[in-house]
């Protein structure tokens, strides 16, 4: 049986991906910030849960030692852990900026850094780094979330060159708003005394909620695609764009260029 490590496996897409891999014959190393969140996964004999805080180098190393004691090899690492922060730059808070950067970007960096030696010694392995449509285009109130996801895109592509000699595959996965708990858990800035800001926040919240409710089959599509990528690693760096929204925005942005794209978003969205 192959072994996959998934970060952020306690909820949302991470939990669904964990269950799908387990149901299809993989051993799943399900990592999460607290083992109190692992209750739904206890019934799977081929799922083993570990406490792993992606923001802590020390905790990653502790979890890694435990994992390597239990598993001789690791075939795939899926960097799934992530969170959202929707705020205006003027109203943003240092603590919330630090948190999203530490989880969404530096968390991926630290987990990859920890497991590269494992893959290098095995002379095989695969990193699948989950980004978002936010890694492809820039949209209103995406200041912090989009920045971290685009950072992961750049980081992943650069890292892929380093690992070519060791038979280690690197890919990124982008998609739109899937019907998980993610949107409900996005941190947002408070209403302000600035009417323009409040109007824009309400508009964006409504658009994203509607998009999420329409994408009923997207989660299943994503999970199936992740399983397919894990079973068929690309030798060279590859970006996988999943779902209508992400594919449309990717090609629309490419065709229009940044000026026309910016104009259309301002007219249609705001």
- Active site residues per annotation: 145
CB proximity list for 49: less than 8 A, separation 6 or greater:
9, 30, 31, 32, 35, 38, 41, 42
Determine contact, residues 127/75, Cβ cutoff 8 Å.
Answer: no
Q: Are the C-beta atoms of 30 and 6 separated by less than 8 Å? A: yes
The distance between the two most distant Cα atoms of the chain, rounded to a whole number of Å, is 58
Task: Count CB-CB contacts under 10 A for residue 80.
Answer: 24
Token couple for 152: 């992961």
Q: Cα torsion at 16, 204, 142, 6 (round to 10°)?
A: 0
Contacts 24+ apart (CB under 8 A), 41-47: 41/9, 41/10, 41/15, 44/18, 44/19, 46/1, 46/22, 47/18, 47/19, 47/22
């Amino acid at each position: 049986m192959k072994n996959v490590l998934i970060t952020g496996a306690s909820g949302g897409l991470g939990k669904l991906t964990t269950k799908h891999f387990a149901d299809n014959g993989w051993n799943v190393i399900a990592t999460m910030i607290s083992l109190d969140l692992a209750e739904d996964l206890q019934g799977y004999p081929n799922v083993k849960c570990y406490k792993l805080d992606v923001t802590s180098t020390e905790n990653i190393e502790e979890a890694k030692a435990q994992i390597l004691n239990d598993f001789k090899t690791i075939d795939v690492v899926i960097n799934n852990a992530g969170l959202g922060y929707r705020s205006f730059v003027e109203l943003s808070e240092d603590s919330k900026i630090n948190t999203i950067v530490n989880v969404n970007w530096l968390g991926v960096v630290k987990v990859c850094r920890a497991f590269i030696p494992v893959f290098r010694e095995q002379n095989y392995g695969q990193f699948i780094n989950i980004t978002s449509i936010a890694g492809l285009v820039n949209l209103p109130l995406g200041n912090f979330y989009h920045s971290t996801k685009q950072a992961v895109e750049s980081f992943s592509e650069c890292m892929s060159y380093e690992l070519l000699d060791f038979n280690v595959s690197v890919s990124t996965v982008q998609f739109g708003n899937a019907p998980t708990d993610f949107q409900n858990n996005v941190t947002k800035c408070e209403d302000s005394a600035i009417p323009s800001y409040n109007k824009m926040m309400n508009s964006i919240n409504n658009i994203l909620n509607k998009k999420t409710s329409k994408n009923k089959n997207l989660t299943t599509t994503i999970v199936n695609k992740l399983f397919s990528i894990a079973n068929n690693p690309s030798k060279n760096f590859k970006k996988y764009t999943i779902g209508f929204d992400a594919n449309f925005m990717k090609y629309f942005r490419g065709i229009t260029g940044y000026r026309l794209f910016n104009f259309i978003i301002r007219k249609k969205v705001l």
